[in-house]
Amino acid sequence: MADSKYITLISSNGFEFVVLREAALVSPTIKGMLRGGFKEAQTGVCEFPEISAHVLEKVVDYFHYWYRNRDKENVPDMKIPVEMCLELLMAASYFNLENMPVARPLQ
């Protein structure tokens, strides 16, 4: 489980999202949870009791959107529903999605 390609994110109301590990690692918060000897690192399951399903769904959307476009130029912007804007902003701050890591570090 610990070294699976996928991890599971659980929202406040119990919805589970199975996400590509590499995509989810864009978030330093999740990266930190999956490192070291935490429970999350062993089980590959992260619970977010503060985040509701519809916000987490959008965040997971973003993870994959970022992963798909990580090497591309001129990436079209992802649509953010206006009514969720502030909630997503809070979530973005929680997941530390502020400064994106450099797409591919130089060898």
Q: Which residues bind other proteins (CB under 8 A)?
A: 59, 62, 65-66, 69-75, 77-78, 80, 82, 85-86, 88-93, 95, 97-100, 102-104, 106-107
27 C-beta neighbours (distance < 10 Å), count: 21
- By C-beta, is 34 or 66 nearer to other proteins? 66
- By C-beta, is 4 or 22 nearer to other proteins? 22
Cα(95)–Cα(107) distance, rounded to whole angstroms? 27
- By C-beta, is 28 or 41 nearer to other proteins? 28
Residue 60's φ and ψ, nearest 5 degrees, are -65, -40
